[in-house]
Structure 1
Amino acid sequence: MRFQFPTWLGLICVCGLFACQNTEVDLINGPQQMMLDAPDYFPANIPMPADNPLTEEGVQLGRMLFYEKKLSADGSISCGSCHQQQNAFSDGNQFSFGVNNTQGDMNSMALSNLHWQTKFFWNGRASTLEAQAIVPIEDVREMNLPIAEAVNRLQADARYPSLFESAFGTDAITPGLIGKALAQFERTLISANSKFDAWIRNEVELTPEEKLGLELFFTHPDPKLQLRGGNCSDCHIGFLIAGDPNGFSGFHNNGLDAEEKLSSGLMNVTANPFDQGKFKAPSLRNIALTGPYMHDGRFQSLEEVLDHYNDHIQNSTTLDVLILEASNEVPDGSDAVKLHLSDEEKKAIVAFLHTLTDQDFITNSKFSNPFN
C-alpha cells in the first residue's frame, strides 16, 4: 500500500494539484512571455514579481550574465564558478573561493526551485532574487567588482546593450536590470524529475529501504505512540523538501554548536538574540550532489549529517524546539538531545535522500554555460 503522507502534507498536495502553477505575463508587444516549467504539485500561490515578468529574452540574458566572467574584478570567475551545474549549482568545496583565490566563510548554497523561496543567503539577508543576485558581484570575498564598473563593462561590450534592449526595452544598462536578468534565469532552475518525483507521479516504485527512509523522513517521532521518525520534514517541508517559504520561519538552530560557540546567523539580520545560531534550512533536492554540508561545510557526507542529528546535537538557549523535543525514545531525564535512530533507519533515510537526485537537472543544456 502506498505510504500515506501526514495530513498537513496532503493539504499541500491538494492545493498544488487543483491550482495552475504556470505564471503568465500579459505582454502585447516586446519580449516573449514564458511560463515556469514546474509540476502541479509545487505550490501555486507564489506570484511572479510584477516588475520582473519572466521572458525568453530576459532568461537568455540572465544565463549569459550568470556565466559572464567580466562581472569579476580580474575576469577570472562568474556566478557559475561557485554554482556549478554538475554539482546541482553548488561547488563541492567547504568554502568557496573568489577572485585572487580569496576564501569565503560559508559553503556555497545549491540553487534550485528558487521561485518558491523568499529569503536568500544562509542568514536571509536578501528578500528577493533580484537583490541577492547583485551581492556576490560586489562582495570583496567573491567577485569583488563595484557594480558601477560592472555596468560600464557590460555597456562597453558590443553584445550586451542590444540584449538588454530586447529583454527590457532599453539599451541603458543599470544595476537593477542586471539583477532582474540574473533573477529570471535563476527562477528557471527547476529541479523536479528525480526518482522521488517519478514516485509522486506513480511512475516508479521505491525500494523497501527507500520507502522506509521516506516514511522516517516525513515522520516526527513520538515514542509514547511508538511512532518512529527522522524528524527531517519539520524543517525540510513538502514536495520542495525545503525550508518554510514564509519569511524567517525557515531558519533554525540545528544544534551544531554549544552556546559559547554559536555563530550569529540570522541574528545578523534581525538583531534579535533569539536568532543566534539560526541558519536557513536549504532545499534537500539533489542533496547527494551538494556536499559538504551545513552553512560551514563541516560534514563531508550524508552519513555524518545523520550521525549529527542522531547523537551529537549541542544544546543551547536557541536550539530549535522541533529538534529539542524529537526523540525515538522516552527522555531519560538527562540533558542529551538524541534521535535514537537505528543504523538501519539512518541508512534508509540516506537511501531516500539519494532519490532526490535529478539527473536531468544537472545535464539540462538550457542551464549550461553558453560560452562553452
Structure 2
Amino acid sequence: MSNRTIKITVLLIVALFIISCKKEIVKDAPKLPKDSITVVETIQEPEQEEEEIVGEKIQLEEGNRDFLKKLIYDEIGNKKYSNLEVTKSPYQVNFDNDGDSYTVSFSIGKKFDFNKDGIMDYVINRDSEGMLGGSVNSNQEYLYYIMKDETNYSEAHSILGYAPFSYNIIDDAKFVGAKFKINITQNYRTYETENLKSTSLSFIYKNGNLYEESYLSDCKLAKLKSKTIFTNIPEVEKRVRSIEMHNYTETIEEIYKNGDTLITASLDGCDNLNLNFDKKYKISKNQIITPDFKKKEAIQFLRFLRNSTQFSKEILIAERHYSIKPIGDKFVEAIKGYSFRILVEKDSQNKNELRVLFQMTVLDNPNQLENWEVATRQKKKI
C-alpha cells in the first residue's frame, strides 16, 4: 500500500471517530456571586403573574452596593459601632448602646422601576434586632425608595413590619409583580387580647405615592380633588405625600415659611379627616400670655388658615366657635361631626418663641376611631 493511500485511510478513520463521538455541549450554569441574595424561584405558566418572595435573588451591582452603603453609613451617623459588614448582603452593623446592644441590617427586597422614569427603585428590608426582642431597638420595616439616580432617592415611604408596641405585625410579605402583598395581625403587646385579628393587604405605587389598595377604593379622603393642604402660595416651601405606617392611609405634610414664622401642616385619615397646624414665631421673652392675648392669636391664626388652605369650610367652624367662646386646651366636641382644639403657649424648648397649635378631626365615620378600624376600612352603619 502506498504512503498516499495510508494517509487517506487514517484521515477517514479520524473523521468517522469524531462524528460518532459528537454530542451537544451543555454550558455550566453560571455561579452566583457570594454577595447575591437568595430566593426560591418558581416556574409560572404563560400569562401568569410572577410571584417573588421578599428577599429575592438580586445581583449586588456597583450601584446597589453604593446605595446600601449610603443607607448603613447614614444609620451609623455619629454613633459608636462595631462589626460593620458591607461586603455581602445583608449589610449590617452592631451598636453597643451602653449594654443594650442591637444590630441593624439592610437587604434588597425588590428592585423595580415603580415610577417608570427609567431609573430602578428599591424596596429595602431594614431589620433592627435588640436584646430580648422587646426593646425600642427591636423593629423591622419595608422602605420604598424612589430613586433620582443610582445612589440618591427622591422619595422614601415606610411600611412598619414590627415594633414592640406597634399596632400591627406583618406575618408574611411577598411581591406579586409590582404589588406588595402582606398579611398582618394585631400586635399582642398593644391589644392585650387572646382574640387577635388578622387581615391581608396589598400595596401599589401609583400617581406619585405609595398606596394600600383598599384606601383608594374604600376611603373617602382618597377622593380629595387636591392633594395639598395650603393653596398655591409662594411661602409653601415643601409638600410631601407618603403613607401612614400603622393604618396605611395617605399622608400629606407641608411647610410654610415667611420670615421667622414657620407653620408645619399635616393631613391623614380614611373617612375621617385629621388636620394639624403647628405655628411658631419669635416673641419677646417678657411677653405675658393672657387669655385676651391667646384669643387674639387664635382667631388671627384660624383666619389665616381659612384664607390660605383647601379647608376653609371646616376651619370656619372653629373660627366661629372661638369668636364667642374662650380658648381652652381641651377638645371641643359640642358641634356634631367636629372635634377640635387650639393651644397658644410659649414653646417649651425656646421661651422666645410662641407656639400656636390647631388640631381638627372631621368625623364622618364613627366606626373608624381606632387604628385597626381605620386599617381595615370599617364602614359606618346605616
TM-score (norm: length of structure 2): 0.28
User: Between Structure 1 and Structure 2, which shows a larger proportion of strand residues?
Assistant: 2
User: Between Structure 1 and Structure 2, which shows a larger proportion of helix residues?
Assistant: 1
| Structure exhibiting the larger radius of gyration computed from Cα positions | 2
TM-score (norm: length of structure 1): 0.28
The higher-RCO structure (CA 8 Å, 6+ apart) is 1
